[in-house]
Amino acid sequence: MDSQKRKIRVCVIDDEEALVGVLKEELAREGFEVAAALNGSDGIKLLEHKPFDVCLLDLNMPGLNGLDVLGKAAQQAIPTEFIVLTACATVQTAVESIRLGAYDYLTKPCNLDRIVFLIKKAHEKRCMRQESLILKRMTEARGARIATASKAMLQVIKEAEKVAGTEAPVLILGESGTGKEVMAEFIHANSSRSEGPFIVFNSAAIQENLFESELFGYEKGAFTGANSSKEGLFELADGGTLFLDEIGEVPQQMQAKLLRAIEKGTFYKVGGTKEIRVDIRVLSATNKDLPGMAKGNAFRDDLYYRLSSITLTLPPLRERREDIKPIVEELLARLPAGYTKSIDDAALELMARHDWPGNIRELQNVVNRAAILSDSDRIGPGDLPPEFKDGPVNQARPAQSGGLLSLCDLEREHIIRVLGHTAGQKKKAAGILGIDVKTLYRKLKQYGIS
């Protein structure tokens, strides 16, 4: 089968032979490529020797159990997304599974439609993670560069180069998808710490009760299930850079501890009595109005001032449309082997008329989608998503506020346009938008779309 249109590869690891047989048959009928193992040891061997997109993993198996498999997969950096299945669900196993990297957690007996839905969502996450590596590789080693032709962006890069040589904390502001993590990597790569680790902590992706243990680690016996001590991200970043992404999502009760750790360069592990000292530089980023949050007491002002010695603001893609061509060319140049593509001017023109509410992240997804679906070596207008062929989205509603729409207005208009394209079919619209139906309904209610 053409690798560009291959089936989603699913691995089933479960000791219930009858269930495995049913899952193999039903998932194959749904269009997946399925392989299976009846124990954890055979399962990990299967994962080591063949690339799978998603794995359905039973927890309770003799010998190597599901948590063991998750641990080994994490150690070996196996990129498969795991969906855990178990007949004996507990809060502890659920938390431990997610901590070890599982995408989701289901209790047996499982509804087939739910399994199929989660497999597709897990596959989407894996694809997005792979695609994000393309943009991340736009910064390479020391002297890394960022593809741009925009005067505004070149000015930001010039400022970033100046601050890179210092130890000053840098707060990077910008809408979601504008490349804040790439800018943080750029600063790290051009700093005296470039040979040290670059550790990313995404505050929005962590449960509130896990913040402290993720950042500072914990000692053996600190809580139920802490069978061994664990290093936190502060320790892992020692000698390098710690990037606190989505800093506006840090719970207020954690902000004081975070401030102390940044100011003093010391902290205590959860359950620990020994003060640990580290040498790190802190970079942070947010798409929120952090100054406004600080004024409104939603974010500690002393932490805000500590993080924002230097502030860099990344312009959204709609304000630097001249960057679309160089970024697209950079993305295409870094596609994996077998996806050699170029793009014609007509497709670029359609892209230039789009307002890119998702910024560079949305552009990445469009380019990768077009590269995969295009039947030729050259991407044309017909390879772009349907909404690109319905006219320029930046003309959906008369602009206000000096000719510019807010991000919320842009998202609302984009949803309306996609719903019009699908004749009101919400499931199909959600697929085009890259969100689940539940999220779409929430946005319809939020924007008053009937």
- Tens of pLDDT, residue by residue over 45-54, are 999 888 889 9
Residue 179 contacts residue 147 (beta carbons within 8 Å): no
For residues 292 and 364, state if they share a domain: no
Tally of domains in the chain? 3
Residue 198 has pLDDT above 90, yes or no: yes
For residues 156 and 224, state if they share a domain: yes
For residues 148 and 289, state if they share a domain: yes
pLDDT band at 280 (very low <50, low <70, confident <90, very high): very high
Among 283, 315, 347, residue at a domain's last position: 315
Q: What is the pLDDT of residue 186?
A: 93
- Tens of pLDDT, residue by residue over 235-252, are 999 999 999 999 999 999
How many whole angstroms separate alpha carbon 216 and alpha carbon 235? 7
For residues 377 and 338, state if they share a domain: yes
Residues 6+ apart with CB under 8 A from 96: 67, 225
Domain that holds residue 62: 3-134
Higher pLDDT, 398 or 414: 414
Report CA torsion sign: 189, 192, 197, 199: negative
Higher pLDDT, 418 or 37: 37
For residues 235 and 150, state if they share a domain: yes
364: in domain: yes
The encoded tokens of residue 158 equal: 């010039």
For residues 218 and 307, state if they share a domain: yes
The encoded tokens of residue 255 equal: 């902000």
For residues 352 and 374, state if they share a domain: yes
Matching residue, tokens 């002002």: 301
Q: What is the pLDDT of residue 124?
A: 85
For residues 384 and 266, state if they share a domain: no
Residues 164-168, mean pLDDT to the nearest whole number = 93
In this structure, the number of other CB atoms found within 10 A of the CB of residue 37 comes to 22
Please state whether the peptide bond connecting residue 79 to the residue before it is cis, i.e. omega within 30 degrees of 0.
no
Q: What is the pLDDT of residue 3?
A: 37
How many whole angstroms separate alpha carbon 385 and alpha carbon 322? 21
- Tens of pLDDT, residue by residue over 127-160, are 776 655 444 444 343 345 688 888 899 999 999 9
The pTM of this model reads: 0.57
Q: What is the mean pLDDT of the chain?
A: 84
Residue 397 has pLDDT above 50, yes or no: no
Q: ∠ CA(86), CA(88), CA(89), 5° rounding?
A: 80
Q: What is the pLDDT of residue 105?
A: 84
Among 290, 315, 340, residue at a domain's last position: 315
Q: ∠ CA(244), CA(91), CA(204), 5° rounding?
A: 20
320: in domain: no
Q: What is the pLDDT of residue 89?
A: 62
370, β-bridge pairs: none
